[in-house]
Amino acid sequence: MMGARLEPHDLRTEIARYRGDLLRIASLQLRDRHLAEDVVQETMLSALAAADSYAGRARVKTWLVGILKHKVIDALRARSRGPRTLTDLGAEVGTDDLDALFDDSGLWRVRPREWEDPTQAVRQRDFDRVLETCLRKLPGLSAQVFVLRELFEVSAEEVCGLAGVTRNHLNVLLYRARMSLRGCLDLNWVTEGGAA
């Protein structure tokens, strides 16, 4: 719904309609189903309480995701234990497996495929479905910082603070996420030509 002035009852219905979408987004970021449920519940309550002030300028979903973003950030702050140690970060900030995607001369071992432009609605839904499966396969911290950065559009500096990582580690985590996702889509998103 864009621009339309919604009656309070209609807005409540709209808010309820997006619960599933909000839960998917919160779960992708928090990687904790229970915490995601709590955060979405708080988001819906805040939205209902603020329904009178919803001016209808933004799409309902965009407005809700804006509220969810703040609730997710609050949850991350509440959970943070200060800077992470290398043990916490585990293998995710190591680069051996990422470096191995290239040969000794620094050339791609498997060259990226040409992606069909996924602007056609059906193709786009297919792309988004595969992408979500690929996102769930990412290591936890890489997925968390990637969703903060790309979906919630949090600045790199703020992501470092929220995740308790240095800028260099963030660069590796985001690189890991992007390289893993592009590789996963290269393998699993079947283009119309049929080649996978």
Partner 1 sequence: MMTCWQTSRLLSEALDRDLSAEEREEVRRHLAVCGACTRCRGQFEELRRALRRMATA
CB of 157 to partner 1, least distance (A): 9
CB of 120 to partner 1, least distance (A): 14
CB 100 within 8 A of CB 183: no
Residues 132 and 45: their CA atoms lie apart, in Å, by: 27
Q: Taking Cα atoms as reference points, which of 34, 97, 138 lies closest to residue 149?
A: 138
Residues 100 and 123: their CA atoms lie apart, in Å, by: 31
Among 41, 46, 166, 171, binds partner 1 (CB under 8 A): 171
**Total residues interacting with partner 1, rule: CB under 8 A:** 42
Name, in order, each residue with C-beta under 8 angstroms of 183's C-beta and a sequence gap of 6 or more: 101, 110
Of 7 and 117, which CB lies nearer to partner 1 in the complex structure? 117
Beta bridge partners of 108: 102
Between residue 12 and residue 71, which ones bind partner 1 under the rule CB under 8 A?
A: 21, 24-25, 59, 61-62, 65
Among 89, 92, 152, 165, binds partner 1 (CB under 8 A): 152
151 makes contact with partner 1 (CB under 8 A): yes
Among 114, 120, 158, 187, binds partner 1 (CB under 8 A): 114
